[in-house]
Amino acid sequence: MSPSVLFVCLGNICRSPLAEAAFREEARRLKLDVVADSAGTGGWHVDSPPDPRAQAVALKNGVDISALRGRQVKPADFRRFTHLVAMDHDNLANLRRLAPPDATAELSLLLDHVEGRAGQAVADPYFGEDDGFDVTWTDVTVGARALAAKLQRRRG
């Protein structure tokens, strides 16, 4: 089965859409056959486009995420995806709480996949300054690249 990755944050308008975009880019570069999506544990931004600051940082780095729309994690995601990748510890704890008994997805933090950064969170940039989104982009890119490389090694 091809790997499939759902990136998860709180609102699905800042970190996880950026992680999804960075991961798609890297998967394309590696010619990795993989499905990617993102979702939030909260439901406030269902059907909303990504935060304008997230769209701006993505565009600055060559990726247009304006067509993405927010959605909430649902029980079926725990079987549909092979990997559920949380941005921070609260998201991960919420995923563990929401997991149905027949869940098969592997749960992790995004930065668990980066050597030397296991257990670290991608900080929530929503209430911070605009330059926080540059840090977010750097973190999700490092994480997405490490995860894509790991999935490629597993398939090789």
Active-site positions read 9, 15, 124
Q: Please, which of residues 42-81 interact with ligand 4NP by CB under 6 A? A: 44
Separation CA 60–CA 74 (nearest Å): 32
Give the residue among 108, 106, 105, 116 at the shortest CA–CA distance from 142: 116
Region near ligand 4NP per CB under 6 A, out of 10-18, 29-37, 60-68, 77-85: 10-18
H helices of the chain, where? 15-30, 52-60, 77-80, 89-98, 132-155
Judged by CB under 6 A, the residue of 10, 84, 140, 144 near ligand 4NP is 10
Q: Is 5 in the site for ligand 4NP (CB under 6 A)?
A: no
Give the residue among 91, 84, 12, 10 at the shortest CA–CA distance from 54: 12
Q: Is 135 in the site for ligand 4NP (CB under 6 A)?
A: no
Site residues (vs ligand 4NP, CB under 6 A): 9-15, 44, 124, 126
